[in-house]
Structure 1
Amino acid sequence: MSSTDNRSLELIAVTSTFLCITILSVGLRAFTRLHLVKWIGVDDALIICAAVAAIAESSATIIGIYSIEPTEYGLGRHIDEQLPEWREPYAKAILTTNFTYTISATFVKLSLLAFYIRLSLDTTLRFAIYVVIFVSASFGISSLLAAGLQCIPLSMLWDSNQPGHCININSFYFSNAGIHILTELLIYILPMRTLWKLHMPLKQKLGLCGLMGLGAMLIIISCYRIITIRDLLVSDDLTCNNESTQSLSLANSSLGNTVTPLMWYTIELNLAIFIACTPAFLAFFRHYLPSIFGGSSTQSNYQASPHRSSYPLGSITRSATHTNKSGQKMIVTAIDRPCFGSDNNNSEEMIVISGSGIQKKVEVWIENKVLKGQS
């Protein structure tokens, strides 16, 4: 196979591009939280951990192509271009991508779920969120264990001639991908009902739901990866094939080396981190570009909500008159305010910074006033 078919540069370009997107996204989120919101939550810490693991995953992918020397390890080259001495360092690099991808994907899920916990006080929803947290964490841990125990001894990944055994690759890939898609689907569906019940203009509701709807892109990518798994298992050239499922195929192939699936792993992972950071983008741009994205306001123009259990995010004033025992009328004024303060009404990022869900408080004062016609 001609070296002109080498797809190494293609993989490096995709990996580097999406790695930059992750670094910029998480950096912008951290800046917004620390300097604008001046508050950082568990979900922020988790997404930072996810970004660190994603950087490690991308680095391991590039190392699979070039070592420190640099010597190419064969990632992106066809099987007839591989050298025997590339097998072990390449296998270790791709095994590292397997671990770091799983760690990063798990942290992204946990970050989103931690954000949901701060978003709602609904007991049923919070219970469902905790269940999905348990499932996601358990799935991540089990995937790491499976990757570490896929072959006994693990050195069979680069030396299949020694005694030992490996797990059923086909079953692992399909079951792993199926559970991953299921947890993603649950995570992006969970908050829809709560977001829709928020008392805010329809445009903002659709915007919030649209942000969560971006998760559909990740689910589509995950489904596509199942197709790549199927095609990989019948491929004769696993070293430069367009389909792969990372390091587990190493034990049963010459180098288990692939390009397109690794690129889709990278795209999916970094896109998930980007989506998780989008609420911070809204707060950032509304602060620095209020004329385009709309700034904060202390006044609310919201209309009455059709939902019995919802209420305005902005402050509203209600007044009523009351006649005391002496026959004098008084004006009683009550103002409903969000618990986080009155100057952050318009930002989806601000409505949950209290860490206790979306709440309100009522300020009441009584004004003694002799109304016209009363003496």
Structure 2
Amino acid sequence: MYYGLKNKAGRDFVIVILVFCGLSTVAVGLRLVSKRMKRLPLQLDDYLILISLMCVYCSVGICTASVTRGGVGNHFGLVVPLADLKYTLKLLIPLQGLYGIGLGCVKTSLMVLYLRIFGTTKKFRITIYVAMVIVWGWAFSIVIEAFLLCRPCELGPDRHTGSSMGAIASNWDPTIPGKCGNRNAAFVAAGALNMLTDIMVLLLPVPHIWSLQLQVGRKVGLLATFGLGIFVSAISIIRMKFLLSLNLADATFSLPDPFMWSVVEPELAVIAACIPLMRPFFTKVARPWFGGSSSRGTKNSRNGLNSDGTKKQFSRLNDSNASKNNDYALETIGGGRMNKVSSEANGYTVGVEGGKPYRIYEDGRSKTGIEESVQTLEDSDSGKSNIKIVGRGALPGGIRVQTEYSVE
């Protein structure tokens, strides 16, 4: 029977998981874009995140099918027949497996990243490997639990319960006599272990981040970035709450919330694992918006331009504090006119242009080609300065300032 999305509970559940599926896809996309911007190849942690994203896609497809074909959100017996209940319970098994594998890949991806960044000591590497074993032990227990929770009674070959397929079928066919474990308790135990592994993975990099030679604010920022998974642990607690309220006597009606949180949790885990690696993208995007004129100046300087877009003349030296240092003149190397360098008592200003001195009189007349004799400049305190500047603008004693540039 086809139910579509007519039921509000089922429709809302599908909309939520689709929205977060889109967000997790965007997060992975930005992670890969950031990698490309840094010209870095895809590494093991990236491939693990991609596997997790594939698990999310499959989970979204399964949950959508459980609503449109399995009747999730409707009451069993009143609307949903037994055949559709079996169909929904069948979908529950692969959904559990995808939940465990998807979260296992996300946590392993983070640990591989920690290993690459902080894995300089043997002790830390061993700690990471032990944590990986614990995480995958939990993930495989989720998969095994999905198949072994129910065990059929031995009724003979007429009911086909003696075969392995009959044993598996008892997990979704309530008409097969048998014994099932407490599903609610099993789900809650798995959720509690999941939360413990979350905390374990989040705490792994804390000592190493705190020992970095950085300001306290930056350390806190790094811890917050890597600690976003704490929100995923909060979702795990919410999921356990709804699993405790699961009513298997009317499974199709009570499954929307447990299904939704079982898919949203891996989706948020993928997003949290990608955020620490998005910095190159956000730095490039945010700089034009929040960098102001300094960001534009930085960009222009890399292109050989001034902040106003004019061509930068690296050979020109300009002493902007001439009025504060007794008007010491600087010599231009590649041409160009300097600012005012000294005030003469007889009404003209001395400067250097193209390596040659020049005068600018108060009436605007200029005279170049001044003899390169020693000039005595005015001193504001004594009238005569003991500091003498030769015509070419060099200080007595032939002091030369040289700046070296290297282009990488």
- The alpha-carbon distance between structure 1 residues 75 and 156, as it changes in their structure 2 partners (threshold 3 A), is same
Q: Percent of aligned pairs with the same residue?
A: 25
Aligned to 1:287: 284
Aligned to 2:211: 197
8 Å Cα contact 1:58-1:97 kept in structure 2: no
Alignment of 1:228 with 2:227, yes or no, is no
SS in 1 for 2:213: coil
8 Å Cα contact 1:25-1:274 kept in structure 2: yes
1:255-308 Cα offsets, whole Å, 9 max, x none, are xxx11121112221111100100022112111343345778x9xxxxxxxxxxx
The one of 18, 29, 32 equivalent to 2:31 is 29
Aligned to 2:258: 261
- The one-letter amino acid of 2:146's match is A
- The one-letter amino acid of 1:116's match is Y
Whole-angstrom CA distance in 2 between matches of 1:110 and 1:274: 15
Whole-angstrom CA distance in 1 between matches of 2:61 and 2:287: 38
The one of 146, 163, 171 equivalent to 1:157 is 171
Whole-angstrom CA distance in 2 between matches of 1:50 and 1:291: 33
Superposed, 1:181-330 pairs within 5 Å as: 181-232=195-246, 237-241=250-254, 258-291=255-288
Q: What is the deviation of 1:164?
A: 3.7
Aligned to 1:124: 123
SS in 2 for 1:81: coil
Whole-angstrom CA distance in 2 between matches of 1:292 and 1:198: 30
Q: Unaligned regions of 5+ residues in structure 1, if any?
A: 67-71, 242-257, 298-371
Count of aligned residue pairs for this structure pair: 273
The one of 62, 65, 69 equivalent to 2:64 is 62
Superposed, 1:39-50 pairs within 5 Å as: 39-50=41-52
1:322-367 Cα offsets, whole Å, 9 max, x none, are xxxxxxxxxxxxxxxxxxxxxxxxxxxxxxxxxxxxxxxxxxxxxx
Question: TM-score, normalised to structure 1's length?
Answer: 0.67
Whole-angstrom CA distance in 1 between matches of 2:61 and 2:6: 24
Q: What is the deviation of 1:231?
A: 2.2
8 Å Cα contact 2:246-2:258 kept in structure 1: no
Q: What is the deviation of 1:148?
A: 2.1
Q: Unaligned regions of 5+ residues in structure 2, if any?
A: 152-166, 299-398, 400-408
- The alpha-carbon distance between structure 1 residues 37 and 167, as it changes in their structure 2 partners (threshold 3 A), is farther
Whole-angstrom CA distance in 2 between matches of 1:75 and 1:110: 33
Q: What is the deviation of 1:102?
A: 1.3
- The alpha-carbon distance between structure 1 residues 131 and 276, as it changes in their structure 2 partners (threshold 3 A), is same
- The alpha-carbon distance between structure 1 residues 105 and 19, as it changes in their structure 2 partners (threshold 3 A), is same
Alignment of 1:143 with 2:142, yes or no, is yes
Whole-angstrom CA distance in 2 between matches of 1:140 and 1:76: 28
- The alpha-carbon distance between structure 1 residues 168 and 139, as it changes in their structure 2 partners (threshold 3 A), is same
- The alpha-carbon distance between structure 1 residues 212 and 99, as it changes in their structure 2 partners (threshold 3 A), is same
1:124-173 Cα offsets, whole Å, 9 max, x none, are 32222111111001111122112122234121233222244333324422
8 Å Cα contact 2:74-2:80 kept in structure 1: yes
The one of 77, 82, 85 equivalent to 1:84 is 82
Whole-angstrom CA distance in 1 between matches of 2:116 and 2:138: 23
- The one-letter amino acid of 2:257's match is T
Q: What is the deviation of 1:212?
A: 2.3
8 Å Cα contact 1:6-1:77 kept in structure 2: no
Question: TM-score, normalised to structure 2's length?
Answer: 0.62
Q: What is the deviation of 1:219?
A: 1.4
Deviates more, 1:271-280 or 1:205-214: 205-214
Whole-angstrom CA distance in 2 between matches of 1:197 and 1:161: 60
SS in 2 for 1:64: helix
Aligned to 1:319: none
8 Å Cα contact 2:226-2:276 kept in structure 1: no
Whole-angstrom CA distance in 1 between matches of 2:199 and 2:85: 37
Q: What is the deviation of 1:38?
A: 2.1
Whole-angstrom CA distance in 2 between matches of 1:19 and 1:118: 28
8 Å Cα contact 1:117-1:129 kept in structure 2: yes
SS in 2 for 1:165: strand
- The one-letter amino acid of 1:88's match is K
Q: What is the deviation of 1:178?
A: 1.7
8 Å Cα contact 2:13-2:256 kept in structure 1: yes
Superposed, 1:86-101 pairs within 5 Å as: 86-101=84-99
